[in-house]
Structure 1
Amino acid sequence: MAQKTPYELSGKKETTTYDEAISYYEKLAKNHPQAKLLTYGTTDFGKPLHVLVLSSDKVFDPIAIKKSNKRVLLINNGIHPGEPEGIDASMMLARDLLSANQLPKDVVICIIPIYNIDGSFNRSSTSRANQNGPLAYGFRGNSKNLDLNRDFIKTDSKNSAAFQLIFNTWQPEIFVDTHTSNGADYQYVMTLIPTQKDKLNPILSGYLTQTLVPDLYKGMAEKGYPMIPYVNSIEETPDAGITGFIDLPRYSTGYTTLHNSIGFMPETHMLKAYDLRVDATYKLLQTYIDLVQRDAKIIGDNRHKADEFVANQKEFGLEWKLNRSEVDSLTFKGFEAGEKPSKVSGQNRLFYDRNKPYTRSIKAWNKFDVSISVQKPVAYIIPKAWDRVIALLKLNGVALKQLKTDGKIKVESYYISDFKTGTRPYEGHYLHSAVKLKAVEQNLQYYAGDYVVYANQPANRYIIETLEPQATDSFFNWNFFDSILDMKEHFSAYVFEDTATELLKRNPSLKIKLEEKKATDPDFAKNGAAQLDFVYKNSDYYEQTHNRYPIARFLGGVKLNVQ
């Protein structure tokens, strides 16, 4: 008899706990030689991340699998443990594929049973107030109260580091991260967020939009679960239209985009019965497997071409904005929305009338244009002191070189001339944004062991979107380099007054600059301290490292002595 899941044994009312899931997968792997349960790293909860690998020919070495030209499909569950459909669906799907001997021959399936182990132990029936079942479930935050679907760049959690180890070890061509929605009410059980097509490499984007997404929709409709794009409403209800979701690199599918992997976030509807949500997730995962097997050669060829393209790409987008002038329409099955008096406040409140379903055309905006871009340098040079950055680059498969000798190198340095910082913490950080830069060519001293990252790699997007400070989810914006924003020395005004007088005498051009500033800025003209500071910051006494971004751009011209 097939091994039943705790979900099935509960009458499809309860989701599996972490201990039950791991015990289930251990038994499954013990009984089936085509399955192997592996562990990677650790998590903030002190337990490792597990990966169940399903391989039709019983090969479980990722290098050998790549050499045999097989595709890898990675399924991630429980990043938000209160959204557990994928946890239960994946367990049943793995069992059914193994017991029926129906594993695809050209696809290896990797399943992370529960990613946010920490949150899965924080179990209740109340943390998702708007959700219809299961009876109890985990909590969105992990044991550090981090939302792990915001942690793929900053990597504040050990969970994220372990995931990145798994991802870069197995290098999946297709990635699926299972979720449950919030928001409006409508008729669909399943909605879908693919990797944002305009951010994805164009070779991969063409296949995604022209083949993979249409066939996912067709397959799910045939299985009884018609889908719609994730309902990201521009107003309170979907009637006025929906927009695409811009998956920044902090999110799972934004992170996978940096590695030329096509990512998906399926979102079941929170108000549908839990058994329907699990069944829809099961059938969607089944559809992914069928399509990846069918298109295994095309997917592999596209990934190879995309990696080559990115390695040679010259210009890279760093920020995207929705193009509101380009709009499509789509057929939408919703419920009529209206207002009625609230029994709590007496004020009018929104409600959806499920006795009034409708099918109508609504507007959909899903074109994003590059708003900030950058020309890649020949390489980035990173002083070895910035070890956290180095560690993350290594974790993400970036090839690094090191200088063999000390010496001065001509580079392009950035000075941070302006930026904004949030007034409240976001995921443990006061996030920077709207960064303005001043680029300056300088001869800077470097030392043996400092790192050189050549921008000629398939990992170029990860390199550039983390190391260019103006990128939305750059390491700079996540506060990795805030120490450069502090001055370490200053002056005593009563002493520097005499020094400034001598500087202005010896440097007529500085005197002219000061007078011009006073003439054009009345407040500055009245502020003696500001004028003294102006002279200081335009003198050799001012520390040249203040506000200088420590990762320099090497533009070529000489051959670096690296190993």
Structure 2
Amino acid sequence: MRPYPRFRRSVLQKLIVRSFIPAIIPAVLSCVYAGACAAPLAAVLPPEAPWQGKSMERVVPAADPHATPLERSGFVRSPDYAQTVAYLRSIDAGSRLISLHAFGKSYQGRELYYVLAGKPGAGKPGARKPVVLVQAGIHAGEVDGKDAGLMLLRDIAQRGRDDLLDHVDLVFIPILNVDAHENASEAGRPHQRGPFLKGARTSAQGLDLNRDYARLQSPEVAAVVKLLQQFDPALYIDVHVSDGIDYQYDVTYTFAGWGTYARSQATAQWLMTAYSTDVDKALTADGHLPAAYPSWVDENAPHLGLRISAEGPRYSTGYGDFMGIPTVLVENHTMKPYRQRVLGTYVLLEQSLKTVAREHARIAAAKDRDRAARPAQLMVRWERESVPREVREFKGYRYDSYLSPASGARELRWTGEPQTIAMPVFGVRSTREVTLPRAWWIRPEHTGAIALLRSHGIRMEVLDMSRAAMVDVAQMANGGHRQELRRPSRSVTMPAGSVRIPADQPGRLLAAALLEPESDDSMLANGMFDHALPPESALSRHLLAPLADRLLETAPGLRALFQDAIAKDAAFAADPQARLNWWLERSEYGDRSSWTYPVMMERR
């Protein structure tokens, strides 16, 4: 099985604007005038399917002294930051298995916390147990993982489930995006059933933290990357709630690349086999309906099918894949009741601990194989294939359409009537791959680039004296148009303090994704060098033409190359400006018309 990457947010936003918001406005206005607002979206969401799963047995009564804040509220209100930390402190104080740790600060200065759950002295003497690292609330309106984790920690500490820690440790981040978590509102995520208040998606810095793993512009994700380096987990779980349309599944999950497109093939195969089998079996036994996370070709036309794709290291799943860490993205279905979603997350986390305890040797071997691999190329561009890879059974709901007075068009309407349909699944094909060099070079003045690589744990050598090197130098038109990239080779002298980043290292692919200028996750693509790209004044044609004419007369070697280029490329031969630019690039003024990317590539 291969689940699917993220929904297209822009399509979702259009769907909300067209279908949900016009229906909400009258209800919102009426409740404002009445002085009290109930959940206005309940009237326009698709019908809610009844559910009573076996996982309900994990809920304790609201009067129980160890009940979580969510259980005390009847699964209506999720605790705020202060209540969450206070509850964790109470568990920490009452159990030797649980300890609360700060690991950084948010953009607004709030402490970031993780919980370490483990048995002292368990396992072999001196041996480090495998770690399952669970992260909740990177999108702060999606906090199913927080409330499920509080219940699981309570049961480990107080209700006899400490057996889960016999062969594995748990590291749990209850809220990563804490500033956005405190920016909670009834109006948050209007398409999501519960909890009552929901935090914001973006951080106080204005960033989507699950797009920041390559850039590390946020203190929150920078702190998480340090935790990943500290614990090197056997399994990394990032808990979200889906966007999109209605279907029967309540707990869905995905992995980067899913086999065909995974960069770390060995860990991907383990996730697709042993892990998926265990989790699906556990969820089904407890009354949940698990599946691969569906991503649509077009949400407004679901019959067109589903898509799978590769991922870059900007996402948690992509980052784990590039680093050889088995990583799971949980996407509970947004339209299922909050109680159902939280309990499904509990089952998934519980089973993950059991599976890693049993499979830790296989996981370690898979990680070692992936980190020892030395792929020669990195795919940096891809596009969806026109022919489906397969046709898959999908448990959805029937939908029809209605004429919306607000949009003036026919809009989807979900009926709540179950149906199983055959769904085509589309993959991608590579449109551009780059060959990795032996090493990359960066001069010492580019401190920001060097610091970013260090933050990712990329290994590098620092020159203690100057050294000559033959390198490819990436040049492009000022303004940074990567489609105009050239890679001439030249001998350069790198001063003391320069760094050489060898490609022969476990972080090879992440280094390539950050350093290769054609990568969509490169430092260039992420704007690190935008300040260095002012456009150069163009040399006027009436001056460039006589310059080229003189070179044509006085440089016989260039003249032969020029005539050969004209003979082989009719389009080039017919383009006066291209012909003049050819000479400009080879003149002494050529470097002035281009910008040199500060990362150089050693090929031999």
Instruction: Please indicate the TM-score interval, normalised by the length of the shorter structure.
Output: 0.7 to 0.9
Structure 2 counterpart of 1:163, one-letter code: V
Shift of 1:503: 5.5
Whether contact under 8 Å (1:517, 1:524) holds in the other structure is no
More helix by share: 2
Whether contact under 8 Å (2:478, 2:533) holds in the other structure is no
Partner of 2:218: 157
Shift of 1:349: 2.3
1:227 aligns with 2:290: yes
Partner of 1:83: 142
Match of 1:93 among 135, 140, 152: 152
1:407-486 equivalences in 2 (<5 Å): 407-416=467-476, 435=483, 437-486=485-534
Partner of 2:99: 36
Partner of 1:253: 317
Partner of 1:328: 390
Structure 2 counterpart of 1:444, one-letter code: V
Shift of 1:508: 5.2
Secondary structure of the structure 2 residue equivalent to 1:549: strand
Relative to structure 1, the CA distance from residue 521 to residue 488 in structure 2 (aligned partners, 3 Å threshold; closer, same or farther) is closer
In the alignment, the residues of structure 1 paired with residue 550 and residue 396 of structure 2 have an alpha-carbon distance, to the nearest angstrom, of 76
Secondary structure of the structure 2 residue equivalent to 1:380: strand
Whether contact under 8 Å (2:477, 2:593) holds in the other structure is no
In the alignment, the residues of structure 1 paired with residue 483 and residue 581 of structure 2 have an alpha-carbon distance, to the nearest angstrom, of 23
Shift of 1:545: 8.8
Structure 2 counterpart of 1:317, one-letter code: M
Shift of 1:492: 9.2
Deviates most, 492-501 or 136-145: 492-501
Shift of 1:413: 2.1
Secondary structure of the structure 1 residue equivalent to 2:450: helix
1:36-435 equivalences in 2 (<5 Å): 36-57=99-120, 68-99=127-158, 100=160, 101-197=162-258, 198-235=261-298, 236-309=300-373, 312-342=374-404, 344=406, 347-354=409-416, 356-365=417-426, 367-416=427-476, 435=483
Aligned residues: 533
Secondary structure of the structure 2 residue equivalent to 1:293: helix
Relative to structure 1, the CA distance from residue 65 to residue 335 in structure 2 (aligned partners, 3 Å threshold; closer, same or farther) is farther
Shift of 1:514: 8.1
Whether contact under 8 Å (2:104, 2:111) holds in the other structure is yes
Relative to structure 1, the CA distance from residue 496 to residue 305 in structure 2 (aligned partners, 3 Å threshold; closer, same or farther) is closer
In the alignment, the residues of structure 2 paired with residue 150 and residue 272 of structure 1 have an alpha-carbon distance, to the nearest angstrom, of 26
Relative to structure 1, the CA distance from residue 490 to residue 77 in structure 2 (aligned partners, 3 Å threshold; closer, same or farther) is same
Relative to structure 1, the CA distance from residue 129 to residue 58 in structure 2 (aligned partners, 3 Å threshold; closer, same or farther) is farther
Relative to structure 1, the CA distance from residue 498 to residue 269 in structure 2 (aligned partners, 3 Å threshold; closer, same or farther) is closer
Secondary structure of the structure 2 residue equivalent to 1:384: coil
Structure 1 counterpart of 2:69, one-letter code: P
Relative to structure 1, the CA distance from residue 245 to residue 443 in structure 2 (aligned partners, 3 Å threshold; closer, same or farther) is closer
Deviates most, 505-514 or 90-99: 505-514
In the alignment, the residues of structure 1 paired with residue 479 and residue 234 of structure 2 have an alpha-carbon distance, to the nearest angstrom, of 36
Whether contact under 8 Å (2:438, 2:602) holds in the other structure is yes
Shift of 1:485: 3.7
Shift of 1:258: 1.1
- Gap regions ≥5 residues in structure 1: 422-433, 557-563
Any idea what the Cα deviations from partners look like across 1:447-492, whole Å, max 9, x if unmatched?
Answer: 0110011111111121111111112212221122335544668879
Whether contact under 8 Å (2:322, 2:509) holds in the other structure is yes
Structure 1 counterpart of 2:586, one-letter code: N
- Gap regions ≥5 residues in structure 2: 1-63
Whether contact under 8 Å (1:467, 1:474) holds in the other structure is yes
In the alignment, the residues of structure 1 paired with residue 125 and residue 398 of structure 2 have an alpha-carbon distance, to the nearest angstrom, of 50
1:8 aligns with 2:8: no
In the alignment, the residues of structure 1 paired with residue 319 and residue 520 of structure 2 have an alpha-carbon distance, to the nearest angstrom, of 13
Structure 2 counterpart of 1:243, one-letter code: R
Relative to structure 1, the CA distance from residue 491 to residue 332 in structure 2 (aligned partners, 3 Å threshold; closer, same or farther) is closer
Structure 1 counterpart of 2:314, one-letter code: R
Shift of 1:332: 2.3
In the alignment, the residues of structure 2 paired with residue 393 and residue 32 of structure 1 have an alpha-carbon distance, to the nearest angstrom, of 39
In the alignment, the residues of structure 1 paired with residue 126 and residue 464 of structure 2 have an alpha-carbon distance, to the nearest angstrom, of 34
In the alignment, the residues of structure 2 paired with residue 92 and residue 533 of structure 1 have an alpha-carbon distance, to the nearest angstrom, of 67
Shift of 1:345: 5.1
In the alignment, the residues of structure 1 paired with residue 572 and residue 307 of structure 2 have an alpha-carbon distance, to the nearest angstrom, of 44
Whether contact under 8 Å (2:572, 2:579) holds in the other structure is no
Relative to structure 1, the CA distance from residue 532 to residue 308 in structure 2 (aligned partners, 3 Å threshold; closer, same or farther) is closer
In the alignment, the residues of structure 2 paired with residue 214 and residue 417 of structure 1 have an alpha-carbon distance, to the nearest angstrom, of 51
Partner of 2:89: 26
In the alignment, the residues of structure 2 paired with residue 496 and residue 118 of structure 1 have an alpha-carbon distance, to the nearest angstrom, of 56
Shift of 1:524: 6.0
Secondary structure of the structure 1 residue equivalent to 2:488: strand
Secondary structure of the structure 2 residue equivalent to 1:102: helix
In the alignment, the residues of structure 2 paired with residue 535 and residue 435 of structure 1 have an alpha-carbon distance, to the nearest angstrom, of 19
Whether contact under 8 Å (1:56, 1:103) holds in the other structure is no
Partner of 1:426: none
Shift of 1:58: 6.5
Any idea what the Cα deviations from partners look like across 1:313-336, whole Å, max 9, x if unmatched?
Answer: 333333444445453333322211
In the alignment, the residues of structure 2 paired with residue 495 and residue 376 of structure 1 have an alpha-carbon distance, to the nearest angstrom, of 40
Partner of 1:553: 601
In the alignment, the residues of structure 2 paired with residue 420 and residue 482 of structure 1 have an alpha-carbon distance, to the nearest angstrom, of 8
Deviates most, 98-107 or 322-331: 322-331
TM-score by length of 2: 0.80
Structure 1 counterpart of 2:412, one-letter code: L
Secondary structure of the structure 2 residue equivalent to 1:357: strand
Partner of 2:53: none
Shift of 1:122: 0.9
In the alignment, the residues of structure 2 paired with residue 330 and residue 91 of structure 1 have an alpha-carbon distance, to the nearest angstrom, of 36
Secondary structure of the structure 1 residue equivalent to 2:347: helix
Shift of 1:398: 1.4
Secondary structure of the structure 2 residue equivalent to 1:103: helix
Secondary structure of the structure 1 residue equivalent to 2:155: helix
Secondary structure of the structure 2 residue equivalent to 1:125: coil
Shift of 1:375: 2.9
In the alignment, the residues of structure 2 paired with residue 50 and residue 66 of structure 1 have an alpha-carbon distance, to the nearest angstrom, of 28
In the alignment, the residues of structure 2 paired with residue 553 and residue 419 of structure 1 have an alpha-carbon distance, to the nearest angstrom, of 21
Relative to structure 1, the CA distance from residue 290 to residue 369 in structure 2 (aligned partners, 3 Å threshold; closer, same or farther) is farther
